[in-house]
Amino acid sequence: MKHALRCVLAAAAIIPIACLAASPYAGEQSRSIKSLSQQETADYLGGKGMGFAKAAELNGYPGPAHVLEMADKLALSATQKARTEEVFDKMQLRARELGARLIDAEKKLDESFASKTVSRDSVAASVNSIAALQGQIRATHLQAHLEQNAILTPAQIAEYWRLRGYANADSPHHHHH
């Protein structure tokens, strides 16, 4: 019994050491901005959607980037294509501008921690600024889906839904024009 107890105690002492594994963040300490990967930085600077418009996309509001990719299959008229390009270009310009501002804000937050000049108030201000920028980026993408929806016919929206692989699921709930 004493031997069994000693084994349990010895195992208890060893297990925490054995369970210590490298952080999932290991290697990220060398990033120029710790909170963003190179891909995330590139996506923000490129005005990419990054899933920000899923609420629109998955409820039947097509995205301009995908509409342009499928212009022929959707049989867009010249006017529809030109209007879609305008929506896309406006979205991209705004998303890139906001993305650059977000990266700058993330860099400043990172630098304040790196330089040990961070404070409770500066963290709150930085995070609130970053969150506001993220919200504006998301709204930019969602608004583009809303604008795109008004350009397409219900039949084109249904075809978009099918081409995007959503036809197996329930049909979109909203096709507001």
Q: What's the pLDDT score for residue 127? A: 97
This prediction's pTM: 0.80
Would you call 19 exposed, middle or buried from its count of C-beta atoms within 10 A (0-12, 13-18, 19+)? exposed
Q: What's the pLDDT score for residue 116? A: 96
Q: What's the pLDDT score for residue 4? A: 59
pLDDT at 59 over 90: yes
* Beta-carbon count within 10 A of 71 CB: 15
CATH of 37-163, one of 1.20.1250, 3.40.50, 3.30.450, 1.20.120: 1.20.120
Q: Where are the domains of the chain?
A: 37-163
